[in-house]
Amino acid sequence: MTTAVEKPRRLLPRWRDYGRPRELVVRYLLLLFVLGITVGPLVWQFLASLKGVGEDVFGRNASLLPHHPTLRAYRQVFDQVPVATYIRNSVIVVVLSIASQLLFSTTAGYMLSKPGWKGRKAVWVVLVASMMFPFESIMVSLFLSIRDLGLVDDLAGVWLPGFVGAINVLLMRGAFLAVPREIEDSAMLDGANEWQRFRHLYLPSAWGAIMVVTINTFISAWDDFLWPLIVLRSESHMTLTLGLSRLQSSSFGYDQRVVMAGSVISVVPVLVLFVITQRWFYRGVSAGAVKL
């Protein structure tokens, strides 16, 4: 961060400090282009969910903006399915998942990053191997295991098969590997034992990876559809994505606006969470303190 000549400090950065104007323009154009591609379809969904009954949702004549915006579709969603229950169930699964993933993948990742114990390579092999099996082929076996544990139609049965993700373990391991040895050596010389080193040295320095694991776990637990579909039976246990899918399948026809409204409802909490946490996360990244 040191440069040859110290610039005089300014309270508010000036545009010029961000770089050459032409570069800025190009950057923003690119950003807007990518924005259109990534967010476009989702914005369209949101706008469609606000459309009134008579307005076309698809087709060439369909306009992007609703002519008579209405929250009717959203009211219908709440009418037709018990959204509050679904959200509560999703939250339960998500909280369980995040807790177990963080706890066990950090500890396992840490141990895997440390040399000097037998069988380390074997454990690594087993973890990587477990990531490679296609879900379709283990689906029925998994269900039978859950059944044997008596967890059918139970949120715990949804949570259990993925309570530690191999990918998260590998992520944490990579993060811990990046901690320079000198720091650890000095900590050891200062008398810190293993657990203390883990808590006060390794965990804080792998903060970025921890955030990544948290966000990733949240999203996959929240969005998961097929596995909850297999395990859960009664409506009072259903998760949000599962419950909202019922809006779409109806032998008597369905209203796309209601489906879109349901999709928006299921995306909003994740989006909110991400917007909140990304500030911490990026702050860490830009300060250079996070190492992956």
Partner 1 sequence: MRAGRLTASVAGIIALTLTAAGCGLSGGSSGGDSTAGGCKVDKGNVGSGKLTGDVKGQITFQTTNLKKDFGDFFNGVITSFEKAHPGAKVKWIDDPGDNTFTQRTVADAQACTLPDVINVNAETATALTKAGYLLDLGVKDPDVAKPFVPAFWKTSTYPDASGKAIHTTLPWYTGGVLLTYNKDLLTKAGIDPAKPPTSIFGLFADYEKIARSAKGKYFATMANPVWRIPGDFDQMDIRTLSADGRSAVFADDPRTTQWVAWMAKLYKEGAMPKDSLSSSNDPSTLYSQGKVAYGSTNPSFVRFVKQNSPTVYARTAVGQQPYDALGRASAGAPQYISVAATSKHAPVALAFAEYLTDAENQTAWCKDPNVVIFPTTSASLNDPFFQNVTGSDPFSQARKLVADQLKTADTNQTNLSPAVQNAIVAQVQLAMQGKKSPAQAVKDAQAKANELLKQAG
Partner 2 sequence: MVATETVKPVSVPGAEGTASAPGTAPSRLRRFGRAVLPGPAPGANGAALYRRWWLPWLWTAPAIVCAVVFGVFPFLNTVLLSFTDAKPLGGAASFVGLDNYTRMLGDSDFWLATRNSILYAIVVVPLMVLLPLMLAVLVEKNLPGIGFFRSAFYTPVLASSVVVGLSWQWLLADDGLVNTWLEKAHLIRSAVPFLSDSWLILFSAMGLTLWKGLGWYMIFYLAALGNVPKELHEAAQMDGAGTVRRFWHITMPGVRQAMMLVGTLTGIGSLRVFTEIYMLGSSTGGPGGADRTLPFYIRDVGLDPLTGNAGYGSAVSVALFALTLGLTLLAQRLTKEDEA
Q: State the minimum distance, in angstroms, from the CB of residue 54 to partner 1.
A: 7
Helix (H, G, I), strand (E, B) or coil at 69: coil
CA end-to-end span of the chain: 20
C-alpha–C-alpha distance, residues 120 and 236, integer Å: 43
Residues touching partner 2: how many (CB under 8 A)? 128
Q: Work out the number of other CB atoms within 10 angstroms of the CB of residue 257.
A: 23
117: left (phi over 0), alpha (psi -120 to 50) or beta: beta
**Contact flag: residue 99 with partner 2 (CB under 8 A):** no
Q: Which of residues 208-267 bind partner 2 (CB under 8 A)?
A: 208-209, 211-212, 215-216, 219, 223, 225, 241, 244-245, 248, 256, 259-260, 263, 266-267
Q: State the minimum distance, in angstroms, from the CB of residue 262 to partner 1.
A: 12
| Residues in contact with partner 1, shown as a per-residue x/- string from 231 to 260 under the rule CB under 8 A | --xxx------x--xx--xxxxxxxx----
Give the number of residues written for the chain. 292
154 binds, among partner 1, partner 2, none (CB under 5 to 8 A by kind): none
With CB under 8 A as the contact rule, the residue among 8, 54, 116, 134 that binds partner 1 is 54
Q: Which of residues 70-89 bind partner 1 (CB under 8 A)?
A: 80-81
In this structure, are residues 269 and 241 in contact, taking their beta carbons and an 8 Å threshold? no
271 binds, among partner 1, partner 2, none (CB under 5 to 8 A by kind): partner 2
Q: Which of residues 37-96 bind partner 2 (CB under 8 A)?
A: 37-39, 41-42, 44-45, 58-60
C-alpha–C-alpha distance, residues 112 and 210, integer Å: 16
147 binds, among partner 2, partner 1, none (CB under 5 to 8 A by kind): partner 1
Q: Which of residues 101-160 bind partner 1 (CB under 8 A)?
A: 118-119, 121-123, 125-126, 139-141, 143-144, 147, 152
Query: Which residues neighbour 98 within 8 Å (Cβ) at sequence distance 6 or greater?
Result: 214, 217, 218, 221
With CB under 8 A as the contact rule, the residue among 59, 116, 134, 191 that binds partner 1 is 59
Q: Work out the number of other CB atoms within 10 angstroms of the CB of residue 187.
A: 17
Q: State the minimum distance, in angstroms, from the CB of residue 118 to partner 1.
A: 6
Determine the interface stretch with partner 1 among 156-164, 185-193, 195-203, 224-232 (rule: CB under 8 A).
224-232
Tokens 């903060």 correspond to 207
Q: State the minimum distance, in angstroms, from the CB of residue 259 to partner 2.
A: 7
Residue from 216, 215, 241, 214 nearest 227 by CA: 241
Query: Which residues neighbour 113 within 8 Å (Cβ) at sequence distance 6 or greater?
Result: 172, 173, 174, 176, 177
C-alpha–C-alpha distance, residues 176 and 280, integer Å: 20
Query: Which residues neighbour 158 within 8 Å (Cβ) at sequence distance 6 or greater?
Result: 93, 224, 227, 228, 231, 232, 239
Contact positions vs partner 1 (CB under 8 A)? 53-54, 56-59, 61, 80-81, 118-119, 121-123, 125-126, 139-141, 143-144, 147, 152, 226, 229-230, 233-235, 242, 245-246, 249-256
